[in-house]
Structure formats: structure tokens, C-alpha cells
Structure 1
């Protein structure tokens, strides 16, 4: 078994799992905020879709990292460890980003204010995933 090639799939899979969880969390909050708007005869802000989709990017980071790992000549054991840890970093970033985005969707839906502040905090969670991807690529 080629552990290096296995690790390429592992990083992508773990990152995708985290993205799915984060999207679910943020999406549920966005739908709930829209429901409250409809019940109160207020316009439903479409900007909430931004929060719902924010954790999706970690899948792309996992895909990019998968390509770097697959091309690496480093030992398979090293790459497997890198794939697991990097995938977990991307996944945790996505899950946390989903939770932050859920709170942001709730606040934006309720008040109609603060989008710039909310998206900035969501972006900080995104930065963790970017750092994890780039630093892992440098390690390949």
C-alpha cells in the first residue's frame, strides 16, 4: 500500500467532512433566520447565503493540498501524518466557521445590521484553513 497516495485522499476526505458539518450548521441558522423574517413579515436578507456557504472553501483547500501531497516524494509515513493532521485542521476550521457563521446569520437576520463585522469574524476562521493549507504545502 502506498501511504503517500492514501494520504492524498485522506486530506481531501477529512476536509470535506468538516465542510459538510460547517455548512449544515450555518445553513440551518440561515434558514431559521429567514423563517423568523417571514413570520414577522420582514424581507428575508439574501446575504445570509454568504454565511451558509462559507465553510465550503475548505473542500477546495483539501483538494489543492491533495494534489501537492500526491506529487510529493517525501516518505509515505510522513505524508500520511501530514494528510491526517492537515485534514483535521481544515475540518475543524470549517466546523468552527460554520458555528460562527450560524451566529452571524442569526444576528444579521434579527437586526439587519453588522454584516461587515460578522463576515470579518467568519474570515478569521477562514484564515486558519489557509494557513494550514499553505504551511502543509510547504512541508510536502
Structure 2
């Protein structure tokens, strides 16, 4: 396979990390949002003040999308040629290959000697494309599941707070524990692919 294809497959893992985390965030915010609306309706029906804090429960699952983006950037940077060689160096090597009668795809053979080690490091990173792809898939799914469950817990917190007006700190701590799962996934998968 060509280096470009290997790079693309690795970067697909980064896209998967963001996409699956975002799906979980959408499911979580949807679940919490529906419960918050129901809680506000109960308050209005009883002529009680509707607690504004329910928005915290709705928004909590959004952070997993940010964690997915951070993991995506980590994966993409490992698979990106620009992280190893400047674009002008690659372009000059391609021009040198064509000038020598070789195909432009043979540009690595025409790099200056001091840049060959950087190109070798890039190829070594690309050899790990299955790890990058799986890290993105598994990491994104785990972060997405955390967001979804956080939204479901936020839904329960919304219902309880709207009904009793008590326990906000306890409900928030519960969301924080669930959030920790996504943080662990982001950090430890990031370390695994370093």
C-alpha cells in the first residue's frame, strides 16, 4: 500500500473518534433535554419556578465531543506527513524525482540525507495505521457511550431536581464520575498510540 493510503486509513481512525463521540453526545443531550423539558412542564403546571440548572444536565454530554476532537487531532498528527516534513521539502523531492526521470511517487528516494530519518519516522508511524484506526474506533465508541450514559443520568437528575428542588450537587457529582470514563479513554488511548 502507498504511504498516502496508509496515512488515510490512520486518519480515518481520527474521524471515527470524533464521529462516535459526537453520536454519543447527541444521544446524551437528547435524553437529558427531553427529561428537562418534562421537568420544566411539571414545574409550570404546578406554578413552581422552573430550575435553570437543568441546562447543566443537558449540556454535560457535549464535552465528550471535545474529547473525541482531541483524540482525532492526536491520531491525525501521527499520520500526517506535515508533522514530519515541511511541504516545501516534499515538493522539492518530488520535482527532483521527476527531473531524474522517476515517478513523483518515488520522492522519498530524492530527499536530502538529513531529511531521510524524518521520512523513515513517518513511514514507521504509518505502519501502525491499524492501531490508529482501532484507537479511533474504540476510543470514539467508549467516549460516545460515556456521553450517552451521562445524558441518561442527567435525565434522571432533571426529573429529580424539578420534582424536589434538592440534590443538584449530588446529581452533578454523578455526571462527573461518568465524565471521568471519557477522560480516561482520551488520555490512555492517547498514550497508547504515542
TM-score of the aligned structures, taking structure 2 as reference length: 0.71
Give ranges in structure 1 of 5+ residues lacking alignment. Answer: none
Distance of 1:71 and 1:124 partners within structure 2: 30
Q: Residue 122 of structure 1: CA displacement? A: 0.7
Between the two proteins, the alignment pairs up a number of residues equal to: 140
Runs of 4+ in 1 over 2 A off after TM superposition: none
| 1:5 aligned to which of 7, 11, 31 | 11
1:29 lines up with 2:82 in the alignment = no
- SS at structure 2 position matched to 1:43: coil
Distance of 1:108 and 1:27 partners within structure 2: 14
1:105 lines up with 2:111 in the alignment = no
The equivalent residue for 2:105 is none
Cα displacement string for residues 108-138 of structure 1 (whole angstroms, at most 9, x for unaligned residues): 0000000011100011000000000000111
Distance of 2:177 and 2:159 partners within structure 1: 18
Rg comparison, structure with higher value: 2
The equivalent residue for 1:68 is 74
1:122 lines up with 2:175 in the alignment = yes
| Cα RMSD, aligned residues only | 0.8
Give ranges in structure 2 of 5+ residues lacking alignment. Answer: 79-124
Q: Residue 3 of structure 1: CA displacement? A: 1.1
Distance of 2:137 and 2:37 partners within structure 1: 33
TM-score of the aligned structures, taking structure 1 as reference length: 0.97
Q: Residue 139 of structure 1: CA displacement? A: 1.2
Distance of 1:83 and 1:133 partners within structure 2: 10
Distance of 1:65 and 1:96 partners within structure 2: 20
- SS at structure 2 position matched to 1:97: helix
| 1:40 aligned to which of 35, 43, 46 | 46
